[in-house]
Amino acid sequence: MKIHHWLLMLFLAIGAVVVFAHEKTGWIAPAEAKKMKNPIKATKVSIQKGKEIYEMKCALCHGNTGDGKGPASAGLDPKPTNFKESHGEKMTDGEHFWKITQGRGAMPSYEKNLTAEERWHVINYINRFSKHE
């Protein structure tokens, strides 16, 4: 009986370490996502559509200026992406698309709430927060 108890405790401890390590490591999109290209040109119309969606769905956490300091961001861990700085990591549009689609933790998946086209418009808008190419 004691062996079963210790094995259970060991498995729970290993599980906790794995979950904790996963949450504290970077949020990395798969290689195929990095290769995805935005099929929608960053026109004024696209950027405006993206802005409207961003203000409704994203600004609460990511902030109106994309600094990751929206009113709902205070208690979140990990903190929302600061789009003004995150592009310094050379994140591709495909990586952003994958993250918006999949979600993680407090960041919801928008796969069912936004069309693919709407997600690409949002990416065109958030790219304006920095000198992203």
* Position 110 confidence tier, pLDDT thresholds 50, 70, 90: very high
Reported as a single tens digit per residue, the pLDDT across 42-63 is 999 999 999 999 999 999 999 9
28-129: CATH topology is Cytochrome Bc1 Complex; Chain D, domain 2 (1.10.760)
> Is pLDDT of 22 > 50?
no
Q: What is the mean pLDDT of residues 98-119?
A: 97
Please give the Cα distance from 105 to 2 (Å, whole number).
36
Q: Any bridge partners for residue 104, and if so which?
A: 107
Please give the Cα distance from 73 to 76 (Å, whole number).
5
Domain spans in the chain, listed from the N-terminal domain onward: 28-129
Please give the Cα distance from 72 to 17 (Å, whole number).
28
pTM, entire model: 0.77
- Say which DSSP state 104 is in: B
